[in-house]
Structure 1
Amino acid sequence: MAKATSWRPWAIGIFVVALIGVAIAFQFRGPVQAGGAKVVNIAGIAYPYQGGQAYNGLTGVVIRQGWLKDELARRGVELVFTPVPTAVGGPMINEGFSGKRIDFASYGDFPAIIAVSGGVPLKLVAPLGQGQNSYLVVRNGLAASSIADLKGRKIALHRGRPWELPFSKLVDANGLKLGDFQIVNINPSATAAALASGSIDAAFLLSDGLLLEQQGAGRVIWSTKEAPADWRMRAELFARGGFVDENPELTQLVVDAFIRAAAWSAREENRQQVTRDAARGSMPVEIVARDYEESGITWRDRFSPLFTPNVAGHYRSVAAYAHDRGLVRSKVDADALLDTRFVEQSLRTLKLEGYWKPAGEGAQASRPQGPRS
């Protein structure tokens, strides 16, 4: 039998010192070590373009600028972008968040509320502008001038997408309910053919509605330009709650990158480039320009990342409306959803304090009258 080895006093001393060192390291480790993420995965709406993927909005600017990739690489962290087709945007991103396969995503307000209501912990870490307009389009030959004229008719509406909420608000504001219509759940790419064939009578869309009108497939009879600003569909930078808690430094870098992209996009000299990028692979430039120009929002304010009272009010409204109308089961605490600390730090770091004015969206957002329909 082998003889047992006895511990010498000097060996015991080294062992004790090592244990104390480990304890101190765990007690005082900073936020960089807390999460230890080696990969940051950002999902974004993307379109096939020239053999690759063209990312929508500020995500595309972040990729082109390359700053975030370089900053993460310096810390030994890989940056991965996950393209998401627009036809499955919200649901696919929600699945990615739920499965912890993505850490950040720039996507719409309503899908995010659905995710949080379903138990997916998200944080809104940066507002991305002042919202997008939605359009109600009717087929040619149909004598309709309002949502009320469409009662009992077939309306294409891609369920679960951000523009479902303004449609529901329009219906409600006119004393109607969703059951008063035959809702056809199809994605926007199939809408033109459905209108042309008479399979549907109308459709509710984003700027696709202007494109249908330009192509002669129908005519716009209403848009959120006629409604309070609160009705516009918003898209923000959302993050997985667990990632934010465990990796605050990396979260700050991601937010910094998006604020940099917003500041670049907000410069008037970059307007044409931004418009071309928005149209790339999905929409004619003139349609994007028309949607921008008719919005009533100044070019700089279009890219405001500020957590204004209207942002908070919008998400309270979305959360309450979605719950009250049975669109989600559990009501979301909108105030707990908003995490303002990273934008505040970004504005200080990038010396952008005062670049965007908090009052930029106030007048239209507080307008009390309902939509014309």
Structure 2
Amino acid sequence: MAEALQLNVAVSDIGAGGKPAGGALVDVIHAQQRLEKALAPKGVQVKWHFIKGAAPLINESFANGQIDMAYLGDLGSIVGKSGGLDTRVVAVAARGIAHHLAVAPGSDIHSLGDLKGKRVAVFRGTAAQLSLIGALRTAGLTEQDLKVVNLDFAAASAALAARQIDATWGGANVLALKRRGLAEIPVSTRSLGGAGELAGLVLVSGRLLEKHPDWVQSIVQVQREAATWASTPDHREAYLQLLSEQADYPIDLLRSDLEGAPPLSQLLSPELDPAFVAQLRQAIDSAKEARLIRRDIDLQQWLEPRFLNSSAQ
């Protein structure tokens, strides 16, 4: 442990404003101090690390023993595990995270098939690339069929506005372009039967699992309780308001991201159910296909569902 009775938690910071934000249930757990309250009786202090550099820095922190757990996207988690990190997946943080194709207004691109030979921006090495690979597969295409341009989101937005690229692939950020009249969204993973949708995982270090399984049980219990709170219909507006305030995203943008989506009880479910495990297997295969990882992952060894099983009783 980094310090006696301290839990170091890492989160990929997606906030657009001055406040730290991890999205979805991470913001509920952080803002409502749910981990702090659950672990206080054990005398454990919780220290949050919101990291802008996202997955590579979080994986480095795991490797250096600076953090004990993380809320991390599927690709970052997969890359770390494939690279030999001693992590375990104890719950799902979020699932069904949609991605969308943004094109310039008036574009002749109406489907994934229309992308053949087109200049498409994607932030390589991130979950967005993994999402694009999964989506293209449904149209019988690979990245090799496109002219892929590696741009971060801000650069891709500017390039699309200047018509230097034909399209870009991204998450809620591309909905913001549509909202400003700078893009149309002809394709979304919502209409692809789950292909290309992403997930977030609750990861703990092997060391934490070995030394403090009771802490891990509390972490998973908190995940379950936060999911129940956020997916209760009476709390929907409070949940969206909390996300909006933390990430500095307009609330109507968050609402539009949930249009046509499964219910929150499904999107926020912590369960490592067979459908989710199959999706994670697919994500690992996509990461290998894109040469983002070299070594395969033993899923049975990586997944640790026993804490979910006991928290459900």
Does the alignment reach a TM-score above 0.5?
Answer: yes
Q: How far off its partner does 1:209 sit?
A: 2.0
1:80 aligns with 2:47: yes
1:67-120 deviations in whole A, cap 9, x for unaligned?
A: 4213433333221001122xx322222222222221111121111111111111
Q: How far off its partner does 1:36 sit?
A: 8.7
Q: Letter of the aligned partner of 1:345 in structure 2? A: S
1:39 aligns with 2:6: yes
Q: Letter of the aligned partner of 1:249 in structure 2? A: D
1:210 aligns with 2:150: no
- State how far apart, in whole Å, the 2-side matches of 1:199 and 1:92 are: 31
Q: Letter of the aligned partner of 2:223 in structure 1? A: F
1:156 aligns with 2:121: yes
- State how far apart, in whole Å, the 2-side matches of 1:142 and 1:226 are: 20
Contact 1:37 1:247 in 2 (8 A): no
Q: Letter of the aligned partner of 2:55 in structure 1? A: G
1:27-68 deviations in whole A, cap 9, x for unaligned?
A: xxxxxxx99952111112335687543442222222233342
1:177 aligns with 2:152: no
- State how far apart, in whole Å, the 2-side matches of 1:51 and 1:233 are: 26
* Structure 1 residue aligned with 2:208: 243
* Structure 2 residue aligned with 1:334: 299
Q: Structure 1 residues 173 and 62, CA, compared in 2 at 3 Å: closer, same or farther?
A: closer
* Structure 2 residue aligned with 1:347: 312
- State how far apart, in whole Å, the 2-side matches of 1:211 and 1:230 are: 22
Q: Structure 1 residues 124 and 116, CA, compared in 2 at 3 Å: closer, same or farther?
A: same
SS at match of 2:39: helix
* Structure 2 residue aligned with 1:314: 279
1:94 aligns with 2:73: no
Q: Letter of the aligned partner of 1:293 in structure 2? A: E
SS at match of 2:208: helix
Q: How far off its partner does 1:220 sit?
A: 0.8
* Structure 2 residue aligned with 1:288: 254
Q: How far off its partner does 1:294 sit?
A: 1.6
- State how far apart, in whole Å, the 2-side matches of 1:160 and 1:51 are: 26
Q: Letter of the aligned partner of 2:161 in structure 1? A: A
The aligned length equals 312
TM-score, structure 2 normalization: 0.91
* Structure 2 residue aligned with 1:226: 191
Q: Structure 1 residues 148 and 83, CA, compared in 2 at 3 Å: closer, same or farther?
A: same
Q: Letter of the aligned partner of 2:253 in structure 1? A: I
SS at match of 1:40: strand
SS at match of 1:221: strand
* Structure 2 residue aligned with 1:367: none
Measured on the aligned residues, the alpha-carbon RMSD in Å equals 2.3
- State how far apart, in whole Å, the 1-side matches of 2:160 and 2:75 are: 26
Q: How far off its partner does 1:204 sit?
A: 0.4
1:70 to 37, 56, 70: 37
Q: Structure 1 residues 331 and 306, CA, compared in 2 at 3 Å: closer, same or farther?
A: same
* Structure 2 residue aligned with 1:323: 288
Q: Which segment is superposed worse, 168-177 or 260-269? A: 168-177
Q: Structure 1 residues 55 and 314, CA, compared in 2 at 3 Å: closer, same or farther?
A: closer
* Equivalences for residues 258-297 of structure 1 within 5 A: 258-280=223-245, 281-295=247-261, 297=262
Contact 2:7 2:47 in 1 (8 A): yes
Q: Letter of the aligned partner of 1:83 in structure 2? A: F
1:147 aligns with 2:112: yes
Contact 1:138 1:202 in 2 (8 A): yes
Q: How far off its partner does 1:331 sit?
A: 0.9
- State how far apart, in whole Å, the 2-side matches of 1:48 and 1:147 are: 30
Q: Letter of the aligned partner of 1:216 in structure 2? A: G
SS at match of 2:107: coil
Q: Structure 1 residues 220 and 49, CA, compared in 2 at 3 Å: closer, same or farther?
A: closer
Q: Letter of the aligned partner of 1:124 in structure 2? A: V
Q: Letter of the aligned partner of 1:211 in structure 2? A: A
- State how far apart, in whole Å, the 1-side matches of 2:187 and 2:154 are: 20
SS at match of 1:169: helix
* Structure 2 residue aligned with 1:135: 100
Contact 2:11 2:50 in 1 (8 A): yes
Contact 1:153 1:201 in 2 (8 A): yes
* Structure 2 residue aligned with 1:201: 166
Percentage identity across aligned positions? 27
Q: Structure 1 residues 176 and 71, CA, compared in 2 at 3 Å: closer, same or farther?
A: closer
Larger RCO, structure (CA 8 Å, separation 6 or more): 2
Contact 1:116 1:332 in 2 (8 A): yes
